[in-house]
Protein backbone atom coordinates (compact mmCIF):
# COMPACT_ATOMS: atom_id res chain seq x y z
CA UNK A 1 0.00 0.00 0.00
CA UNK A 2 1.44 3.38 -1.03
CA UNK A 3 1.53 6.41 1.30
CA UNK A 4 -1.29 7.97 -0.72
CA UNK A 5 -3.46 4.86 -0.37
CA UNK A 6 -2.74 4.75 3.38
CA UNK A 7 -3.72 8.41 3.73
CA UNK A 8 -6.98 7.91 1.80
CA UNK A 9 -7.87 4.78 3.81
CA UNK A 10 -7.20 6.55 7.12
CA UNK A 11 -9.11 9.64 5.98
CA UNK A 12 -12.12 7.49 5.20
CA UNK A 13 -11.87 5.70 8.57
CA UNK A 14 -11.82 9.04 10.41
CA UNK A 15 -14.70 10.38 8.33
CA UNK A 16 -16.84 7.31 8.98
CA UNK A 17 -15.94 7.23 12.68
CA UNK A 18 -17.28 10.77 13.14
CA UNK A 19 -20.18 10.02 10.74
CA UNK A 20 -19.36 12.93 8.46
CA UNK A 21 -20.18 12.93 4.74
CA UNK A 22 -17.73 13.93 2.02
CA UNK A 23 -19.86 17.06 1.44
CA UNK A 24 -19.51 17.98 5.11
CA UNK A 25 -15.74 17.48 4.89
CA UNK A 26 -15.74 19.99 2.01
CA UNK A 27 -17.69 22.42 4.20
CA UNK A 28 -15.05 22.06 6.93
CA UNK A 29 -12.34 22.66 4.33
CA UNK A 30 -14.10 25.74 2.94
CA UNK A 31 -11.58 28.53 2.42
CA UNK A 32 -8.62 26.16 1.98
CA UNK A 33 -9.07 25.94 -1.82
CA UNK A 34 -9.12 22.12 -1.74
CA UNK A 35 -11.79 19.52 -2.53
CA UNK A 36 -12.13 16.24 -0.66
CA UNK A 37 -15.21 14.77 -2.32
CA UNK A 38 -14.12 12.15 -4.84
CA UNK A 39 -10.70 11.39 -3.29
CA UNK A 40 -11.89 8.15 -1.66
CA UNK A 41 -13.30 6.85 -4.96
CA UNK A 42 -10.18 8.00 -6.89
CA UNK A 43 -12.29 10.43 -8.95
CA UNK A 44 -10.11 13.27 -7.66
CA UNK A 45 -6.36 13.45 -7.23
CA UNK A 46 -4.94 13.65 -3.71
CA UNK A 47 -2.98 16.91 -3.47
CA UNK A 48 -0.34 18.06 -1.00
CA UNK A 49 -2.65 20.92 0.04
CA UNK A 50 -5.37 18.41 0.94
CA UNK A 51 -2.88 16.21 2.83
CA UNK A 52 -1.96 19.29 4.91
CA UNK A 53 -5.53 20.60 5.39
CA UNK A 54 -7.56 17.43 6.02
CA UNK A 55 -6.06 16.40 9.42
CA UNK A 56 -6.64 19.92 10.79
CA UNK A 57 -10.40 19.30 10.91
CA UNK A 58 -9.65 16.70 13.60
CA UNK A 59 -7.16 18.91 15.43
CA UNK A 60 -4.12 16.98 14.15
CA UNK A 61 -1.20 17.97 11.96
CA UNK A 62 -0.38 15.93 8.85
CA UNK A 63 2.60 14.16 10.46
CA UNK A 64 0.69 13.01 13.54
CA UNK A 65 -2.28 11.98 11.37
CA UNK A 66 -0.10 9.78 9.16
CA UNK A 67 1.51 7.84 12.05
CA UNK A 68 0.18 4.29 12.33
CA UNK A 69 -0.39 4.59 16.09
CA UNK A 70 -2.54 7.75 15.80
CA UNK A 71 -6.13 7.05 16.83
CA UNK A 72 -9.33 9.07 16.73
CA UNK A 73 -9.17 12.21 18.86
CA UNK A 74 -11.52 12.54 21.81
CA UNK A 75 -14.61 14.70 21.31
CA UNK A 76 -13.19 17.43 23.58
CA UNK A 77 -10.01 17.58 21.49
CA UNK A 78 -11.82 18.27 18.20
CA UNK A 79 -11.73 21.86 16.89
CA UNK A 80 -14.85 23.90 17.68
CA UNK A 81 -15.79 24.22 13.99
CA UNK A 82 -15.82 20.44 13.58
CA UNK A 83 -17.89 19.93 16.73
CA UNK A 84 -20.32 22.64 15.65
CA UNK A 85 -20.82 21.06 12.22
CA UNK A 86 -21.27 17.54 13.63
CA UNK A 87 -23.73 18.66 16.32
CA UNK A 88 -25.84 20.78 14.02
CA UNK A 89 -25.48 19.36 10.53
CA UNK A 90 -26.13 21.75 7.63
CA UNK A 91 -27.86 20.97 4.40
CA UNK A 92 -25.23 19.64 2.02
CA UNK A 93 -24.78 19.14 -1.70
CA UNK A 94 -26.08 15.57 -1.44
CA UNK A 95 -29.53 16.94 -0.58
CA UNK A 96 -32.04 18.09 -3.18
CA UNK A 97 -34.16 21.04 -2.15
CA UNK A 98 -35.76 21.75 -5.52
CA UNK A 99 -37.49 25.03 -6.32
CA UNK A 100 -38.04 25.87 -2.62
CA UNK A 101 -34.28 26.17 -2.24
CA UNK A 102 -34.13 29.01 -4.73
CA UNK A 103 -36.32 31.20 -2.49
CA UNK A 104 -34.28 30.35 0.62
CA UNK A 105 -30.76 30.76 -0.71
CA UNK A 106 -29.66 33.01 2.17
CA UNK A 107 -30.74 30.43 4.79
CA UNK A 108 -28.76 27.67 3.08
CA UNK A 109 -25.70 29.92 2.77
CA UNK A 110 -25.85 30.87 6.48
CA UNK A 111 -26.11 27.22 7.57
CA UNK A 112 -23.22 26.26 5.28
CA UNK A 113 -20.81 28.90 6.64
CA UNK A 114 -21.93 29.09 10.29
CA UNK A 115 -18.91 27.07 11.50
CA UNK A 116 -16.32 29.33 9.82
CA UNK A 117 -14.17 31.52 12.00
CA UNK A 118 -13.68 35.26 11.63
CA UNK A 119 -10.99 35.96 9.03
CA UNK A 120 -11.77 32.93 6.84
CA UNK A 121 -11.66 33.71 3.12
CA UNK A 122 -13.68 31.50 0.78
CA UNK A 123 -14.67 31.67 -2.86
CA UNK A 124 -18.13 31.62 -4.39
CA UNK A 125 -17.45 28.33 -6.24
CA UNK A 126 -16.18 26.64 -3.03
CA UNK A 127 -19.41 27.59 -1.28
CA UNK A 128 -21.87 26.77 -4.06
CA UNK A 129 -20.27 23.33 -4.49
CA UNK A 130 -21.32 22.54 -0.88
CA UNK A 131 -24.94 23.73 -1.23
CA UNK A 132 -27.90 21.45 -2.03
CA UNK A 133 -29.25 21.04 -5.55
CA UNK A 134 -30.21 23.18 -7.49
CA UNK A 135 -28.21 25.84 -5.59
CA UNK A 136 -24.97 23.94 -6.25
CA UNK A 137 -25.42 24.55 -9.98
CA UNK A 138 -24.27 28.12 -9.38
CA UNK A 139 -25.90 31.05 -7.64
CA UNK A 140 -25.02 34.65 -7.04
CA UNK A 141 -24.65 35.54 -3.39
CA UNK A 142 -26.37 38.82 -2.56
CA UNK A 143 -25.06 39.94 0.82
CA UNK A 144 -26.12 43.59 0.67
CA UNK A 145 -29.70 43.02 1.82
CA UNK A 146 -31.78 40.48 3.68
CA UNK A 147 -30.39 37.89 6.07
CA UNK A 148 -26.91 37.88 4.53
CA UNK A 149 -26.40 41.62 5.05
CA UNK A 150 -23.36 42.02 7.28
CA UNK A 151 -22.73 38.27 7.62
CA UNK A 152 -19.60 38.47 5.46
CA UNK A 153 -18.17 40.83 2.89
CA UNK A 154 -17.12 40.51 -0.72
CA UNK A 155 -13.45 41.28 -1.28
CA UNK A 156 -12.20 43.42 -4.13
CA UNK A 157 -10.00 40.58 -5.36
CA UNK A 158 -11.03 37.38 -7.09
CA UNK A 159 -9.46 34.04 -7.90
CA UNK A 160 -9.03 33.23 -11.58
CA UNK A 161 -8.90 29.70 -12.99
CA UNK A 162 -9.78 27.69 -16.08
CA UNK A 163 -12.88 25.48 -16.00
CA UNK A 164 -13.34 22.07 -17.62
CA UNK A 165 -14.05 23.74 -20.99
CA UNK A 166 -10.74 25.66 -20.76
CA UNK A 167 -12.62 28.95 -20.26
CA UNK A 168 -11.37 31.65 -17.89
CA UNK A 169 -13.50 31.90 -14.75
CA UNK A 170 -13.43 34.75 -12.24
CA UNK A 171 -14.35 33.42 -8.80
CA UNK A 172 -15.32 36.15 -6.27
CA UNK A 173 -13.77 35.91 -2.79
CA UNK A 174 -15.58 36.59 0.50
CA UNK A 175 -14.34 37.24 4.03
CA UNK A 176 -16.06 36.30 7.30
CA UNK A 177 -15.53 39.49 9.28
CA UNK A 178 -17.66 38.65 12.33
CA UNK A 179 -18.90 35.37 13.81
CA UNK A 180 -22.36 34.11 12.85
CA UNK A 181 -24.60 34.86 15.80
CA UNK A 182 -27.09 32.32 17.14
CA UNK A 183 -30.02 34.63 16.37
CA UNK A 184 -29.19 34.66 12.65
CA UNK A 185 -28.57 30.89 12.55
CA UNK A 186 -31.89 30.31 14.38
CA UNK A 187 -33.71 32.57 11.92
CA UNK A 188 -32.26 30.62 8.95
CA UNK A 189 -33.32 27.28 10.49
CA UNK A 190 -36.85 28.51 11.24
CA UNK A 191 -37.25 29.82 7.69
CA UNK A 192 -36.31 26.42 6.25
CA UNK A 193 -38.56 24.54 8.69
CA UNK A 194 -41.56 26.63 7.61
CA UNK A 195 -41.06 26.03 3.88
Span 148-158, pLDDT tens digits: 777 788 888 88
Residue spans of alpha helices (H) in 55-121: 62-66, 80-87, 98-103, 105-113
Q: Are 149 and 112 in contact (CB under 8 A)?
A: no
Q: Model's pTM, two decimal places?
A: 0.73
Neighbours of 8 (CB within 10 A): 18
- Residue 68 is predicted with a pLDDT of 87
Below-50 pLDDT ranges, the chain: none
* Distance, C-alpha 60 to centroid of its chain: 18
- Residue 54 is predicted with a pLDDT of 94
| Residues facing residue 169 across a β-bridge | 161
- Residue 190 is predicted with a pLDDT of 85
DSSP 134-175: TGGG------SSGGGTTT-EEEEEEEEEE-TTS-EEEEEEEE
- Residue 136 is predicted with a pLDDT of 79
- Residue 56 is predicted with a pLDDT of 94
19 by DSSP, 3-state: which? coil
- Residue 17 is predicted with a pLDDT of 92
Amino acid sequence: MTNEEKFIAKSKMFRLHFQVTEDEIDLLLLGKNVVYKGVESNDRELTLQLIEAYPLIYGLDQYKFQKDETTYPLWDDLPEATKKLIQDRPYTASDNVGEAGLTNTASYVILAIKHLETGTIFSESELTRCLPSPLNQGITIYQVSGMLKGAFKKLRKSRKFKNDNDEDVIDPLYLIHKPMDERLIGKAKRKLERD
